[in-house]
């Protein structure tokens, strides 16, 4: 066993089940371990490193900003923060932004805003949804195993069955503050909401006047082939949460709201010391600019299609799902499949006994997709 792994066992709180690889450096879609072994990375730090590892454009901007100003708190104004909010408004159509340091914090802010603005208490989430691990975000996360030891969490929360119209209709009413949903469930193994389900949700909003929160922490920033998954469905949420790919792995997140929601928010309702610091905002601006300059939305769509077509041709694959480079598949033994691929130098993520998630950098090339598919093909034999 690696010396680093032995040392980790002694000093780390043992929350994580890690793969037995100590990663030293990475470039583009490739990761190198401490023994110099290389892996094709189809996990990208869990859908974070969208413009590729060690992206020179992002590195340069982070370096320039670090030399000028890293942090001053939100007691002051800084330019990168304003520039990033303007950029996000342009690509998302949302009106106003608050910056956080993670997806969980973005969800936490969204829940607080929903209660504040509606003066209602009740939340509705869905079977399979994942929104984070803090007390608030955990309260709307589906997995019983994650929630149960930490009760009581915030209440009331009900879970409707994902993609069941009847269950959704029964879950919402005039006391619902907000419905929070992942338009495409990520941690569950890439399960998209059906279009008619989404349509019904927005009809019910008209009837009961609740807010709709799209948790786009994982689906945001081109992962699904559009800037945001909401653009695939053609519906505008009241609140949207962001993080993961926002800074290409640099920790930054955001909560976005409509002007109408903003009108119900008061000064002092929420805050953050680090949130939106100039360094994080520069990393995010550079990431978004790089995506625009290199047509990465198009590459996400094309390479995602290439993955799905290839996977559909394999007998051992039972189901293929997703949009863009958010690819899900079901096999009889997901752990066995991911271990097989890892042994041949390709990293994929098993999210359950049957489900595998493929979420590579959006910069991935045809050759790299084909290389991965050729490794998967060997699994059949
Ligand atoms: C990862 C994720 C979160 C939590 O984000 P963290 O940065 O780990 O706090 C929340 N919602 C969704 C949809 C996610 O995929």
Nearest 5°: CA angle at 319, between 316 and 321?
135
Task: Give me the half-sphere count of Cα atoms (radius 13 Å) on the Cβ side of residue 98.
Answer: 25
Distance 104 CA to ligand 1 centre (A): 6
Residue nearest atom 15 of ligand 1, based on CA coordinates = 218
Whose tokens are 């039972």? That residue is: 318
3-54+295-380 — its CATH code? 3.90.1150.10
Contact 171, 210 (CB under 8 A): no
Name the one residue in this structure whose structure tokens are 């928010």: 265
CA nearest neighbour of 281 among 250, 307, 312, 240: 250
Within 10 Å of residue 17's Cβ, how many Cβ atoms? 5
Q: 59, 57, 23, 55: which is closest to 41 by C-alpha? A: 23
Q: Output the six-digit token pair for 47.
A: 């859908």
Please give the pLDDT value at position 299.
Answer: 98
- For tokens 């790299």, the residue is 368
CA angle 204, 207, 212 (to 5 degrees): 50
Q: Tell the CATH topology of 56-293.
A: 3.40.640
Atom of ligand 1 nearest to the CA of 134: 9
User: How many residues make up the chain in this entry?
Assistant: 381
Angle at 295 between CA 292 and CA 299, to 5 degrees: 140
CA of 46 to the centre of ligand 1 (A): 9
Give the distance (Å) from ligand 1 centre to CA of residue 131. Answer: 6
Pick the atom of ligand 1 nearest to 182's CA: 13
In the structure encoding, which two tokens stand for residue 218, read together?
């994982």
Nearest residue (CA) to ligand 1, atom 5? 103
Closest ligand 1 atom to 104 CA: 9
Is 357 near ligand 1, meaning CB less than 6 Å away?
no
pLDDT of residue 251: 98
Q: What is the 3-state secondary structure (H, E, C) of 296-361?
A: HHHHHHHHHHHHHHHHHCCCCCCEEEEECCEEEEECCCHHHHHHHHHHCCEECEECCCCEEEECCC
Q: Can you tell me which atom of ligand 1 is nearest the CA of 241?
A: 11
Of 223, 224, 229, 243, the residue with max ligand 1 atoms within 8 A of its CB, to mutate for a pocket test, comes to 243
> Looking at residue 380, what is its pLDDT?
79
Ligand 1 pocket residue status of 131, Cβ below 6 Å: yes
Residue 323 CB less than 6 A away from ligand 1: no
Alpha-carbon distance of 255 to 243, in angstroms, equals 9
Q: Which residues pair with 327 in a beta bridge?
A: 322, 358
Q: Report which of 318, 324, 312, 313 is spatially closest to residue 358, judged by C-alpha positions.
A: 324
- pLDDT value for 76: 98
Does the beta carbon of 103 lie inside 6 Å of ligand 1?
Answer: yes
* Beta strands 211-215 and 239-242, pairing class: parallel
Task: Give distance in angstroms: CA of 253 to centre of ligand 1.
Answer: 10
Return the residue whose CA atom lies nearest to atom 10 of ligand 1.
131
Separation of alpha carbons 347 and 345, rounded Å: 7
Q: How far apart are CA 97 and CA 361, in angstroms?
A: 25
Nearest partner of 319 among 192, 136, 144, 182, judged by Cα: 192
Q: Specify the pTM.
A: 0.98
Residue 216 Cβ < 6 Å to ligand 1? no
Report pLDDT for 164. 98
Q: pLDDT of the chain along its 381 residues, tens only?
A: 799 999 999 999 999 999 999 999 999 999 999 999 999 999 999 999 999 999 999 999 999 999 999 999 999 999 999 999 999 999 999 999 999 999 999 999 999 999 999 999 999 999 999 999 999 999 999 999 999 999 999 999 999 999 999 999 999 999 999 999 999 999 999 999 999 999 999 999 999 999 999 999 999 999 999 999 999 999 999 999 999 999 999 999 999 999 999 999 999 999 999 999 999 999 999 999 999 999 999 999 999 999 999 999 999 999 999 999 999 999 999 999 999 999 999 999 999 999 999 999 999 999 999 999 999 999 977
Q: State whether residue 23 is helix, strand or coil.
A: strand
- Please name the residues in contact with 52: beta carbons below 8 A apart, sequence gap of 6 or more: 27, 28, 29, 248, 361, 363
What Cα–Cα distance (Å) separates residue 20 from each residue in 2, 84, 209, 353?
Answer: 8, 37, 49, 19
- What are the residue boundaries of the structural domains of the chain, listed by start? 3-54+295-380, 56-293
Element (H, E) at 163: none
- Between the CA of 377 and the centroid of ligand 1 the distance, in Å, is 31
């Amino acid at each position: 066993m690696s010396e680093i792994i032995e040392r980790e066992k002694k000093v780390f709180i043992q929350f994580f089940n890690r793969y037995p690889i100590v990663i030293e450096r990475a470039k583009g879609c490739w990761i190198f371990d401490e023994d110099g072994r290389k892996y094709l990375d189809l996990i990208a730090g869990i859908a974070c490193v969208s413009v590729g590892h060690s992206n020179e454009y992002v590195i340069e901007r982070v370096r320039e900003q670090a030399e000028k100003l890293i942090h001053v708190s939100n007691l002051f104004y800084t330019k990168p923060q304003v520039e990033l909010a303007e950029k996000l408004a342009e690509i998302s159509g949302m009106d106003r932004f608050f910056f956080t340091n993670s997806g969980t914090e973005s969800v936490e802010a969204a829940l607080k805003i929903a209660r504040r603005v509606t003066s209602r208490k009740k939340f509705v989430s869905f079977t399979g949804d994942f929104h984070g691990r803090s007390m608030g975000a955990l309260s709307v996360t589906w997995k019983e195993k994650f929630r149960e030891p930490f009760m009581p969490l915030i209440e009331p929360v009900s879970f409707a069955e994902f993609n069941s119209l009847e269950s959704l209709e029964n879950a919402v009413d005039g006391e619902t503050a907000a419905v929070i949903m992942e338009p495409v469930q990520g941690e569950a193994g890439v399960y998209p909401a059906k279009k008619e389900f989404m349509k019904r949700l927005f009809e019910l909003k008209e009837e009961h006047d609740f807010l709709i929160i799209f948790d786009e922490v994982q689906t945001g920033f081109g992962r699904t082939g559009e800037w945001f998954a909401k653009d695939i469905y053609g519906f505008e949420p009241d609140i949207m949460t962001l993080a993961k790919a926002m800074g290409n792995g640099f920790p930054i997140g955001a909560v976005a709201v409509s002007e109408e929601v903003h009108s119900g928010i008061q000064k002092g309702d929420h805050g953050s010391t680090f949130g939106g610091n100039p360094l994080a905002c520069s990393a995010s601006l550079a990431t978004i600019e790089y995506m625009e300059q290199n047509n990465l939305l198009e590459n996400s769509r094309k390479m995602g299609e290439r993955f799905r077509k290839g996977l559909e041709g394999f007998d051992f694959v039972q189901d293929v799902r997703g949009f863009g480079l958010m690819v899900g598949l079901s096999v009889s033994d997901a752990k066995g499949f991911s271990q097989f691929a890892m042994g041949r130098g390709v990293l994929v993520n098993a999210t359950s006994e049957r489900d595998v998630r493929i979420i590579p950098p959006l910069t991935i090339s045809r050759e790299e997709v084909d290389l991965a598919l050729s490794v998967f093909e060997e699994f059949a034999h």
